[in-house]
Amino acid sequence: MPLTPEQTEPVLDREAIAAIDPTDQLTDVLALPEHVRDALWKADSANLGEWDSPGGLIVAGMGSSALGGALAGAALGDHASRPVFSARAYGLPAYTTPDTTVLCCSYSGDTEETLACFEAAGALGARRVVATSGGRLAAEAREEGVPVIPVAGGLRGFAAIGYMLVAALEVAAACGAGPHLTSELDVAAEHLEELVVEWGPEGTEDSDVKVLARALQGTVPVIVGAGITTPVAHRWKGQINRLARVPSFASELPEADHHEIAGWERAEDLGRFSAVFLDDSDLHPRVLARIALTREIVERHSAGTHVLTSRGQTAVERVLSLVLAGDLVALYLAVLQGIDPAAPSCVEQLKGDLQG
């Protein structure tokens, strides 16, 4: 199904969005360019210095905080000189050594899994850096002399993705895992400003992002990434889950073509599923062929298939373009369903139950 509007109502302008979004989450989504610039300044203010970590970098965190590390790895791509891993658990991977740098990311500073990783890294003697807006993590880091990259307060954790991506890139450069991408991030922020105009509420109603949000309404979206768009697919999935309160799943090509694709044969018997393929200009030619062929197969059994291609020249530009697109699709989808994107969810209930 091509990205052509099936309907033009309801209009996704500021007035319509404000009626559903009383805490103005839209502004935080549209502020991604400013977040990237502010994150660079904040990382510089941390005076990290430089050191050599032969074991590479592990980014420990949960949700969007961990995803910053995965996006950083995608943005670095072939320019990474050491491995960049993510740890999303109560402990660090078994291969963590004192020669590894561990970046502990938690927006609130109170994420229990990240606090456990911070302690584990200290016990191993690994070099530690923290990215947070405060909480226990900031307090413990400062008490132990661990550098803290500050993150702006007043946001919801998932809106701080720009800060977490920049923190991971800056620590990767500091520990020798990759080059500095400061100039690339500056250019990416300028490019994002152009996309905010095109895709934001002032953009036309037939923009790709608004049309896609309408097309996904009433479906269970499966977001399919490949190469550098794989972590972005997980970002889309998480934002659709959290903002729009819709089941959504992330997948990856070419792996999805070896088992998962067979499951689509019965998808229409179980519900209305849709697929979004996140394309990129630097994907392997065989992956591009797989996107086209996989889409043909899925189309027969789904409520619709869609392709959205990254925008920009550098990898960091292209990654951030799709992050912005996914955040807007999720927010627009929430508005179309009449759901306040910042309303309390079962996530908060679960955290409360665990503490009780």
pLDDT band, residue 93 (cuts 50/70/90)? very high
Q: pLDDT digits over 266-300, tens only? A: 999 999 999 999 999 999 999 999 999 999 999 99
Q: Which domains, from first to last, does the chain contain?
A: 14-23+188-336 (3.40.50.10490), 28-180 (3.40.50.10490)
pLDDT at 141: 98
* C-alpha distance from residue 226 to each of 49, 169, 208, 287, 332 (Å): 34, 21, 20, 7, 24
Whether pLDDT at 3 is above 60: no
Q: Which of 47, 58, 40 is nearest to 172 (CA)?
A: 58
Q: Tokens 């989504």: give the residue.
A: 29
User: 145 by DSSP, 3-state: which?
Assistant: coil
Mean predicted confidence (pLDDT) in 106-128: 97
pLDDT at 7: 46
Mean predicted confidence (pLDDT) in 23-50: 97
Whether pLDDT at 144 is above 50: yes
Q: pLDDT digits over 217-249, tens only? A: 999 999 999 999 999 999 999 999 999 999 999
Mean predicted confidence (pLDDT) in 314-324: 98
pLDDT at 139: 98
| Cis amide leading into 254 (omega within 30) | yes
> Which helix H or strand E contains 57, and what residues bound it?
strand 57-60
| Cis amide leading into 22 (omega within 30) | no
Average pLDDT value over all residues in the chain = 95
CA distance linking residue 29 with residue 272, whole number of Å: 28
- The number of beta carbons lying within 10 Å of the beta carbon of residue 251 is 21
Whether pLDDT at 353 is above 90: no
Taking the mean position of all CA atoms in its chain, how far away is CA 27? Answer: 17
Whether pLDDT at 356 is above 80: no
CA distance linking residue 28 with residue 207, whole number of Å: 20
pLDDT at 82: 96
pLDDT at 239: 98
pLDDT at 170: 98
Q: pLDDT digits over 208-225, tens only? A: 999 999 999 999 999 999
Whether the CB-CB separation of 64 and 308 falls below 8 Å is answered with no
pLDDT band, residue 9 (cuts 50/70/90)? low
**Which residues are CB-contacts of 216 (< 8 A; sequence separation ≥ 6)?**
240, 274, 276, 304, 306, 329, 333
Whether pLDDT at 19 is above 70: yes
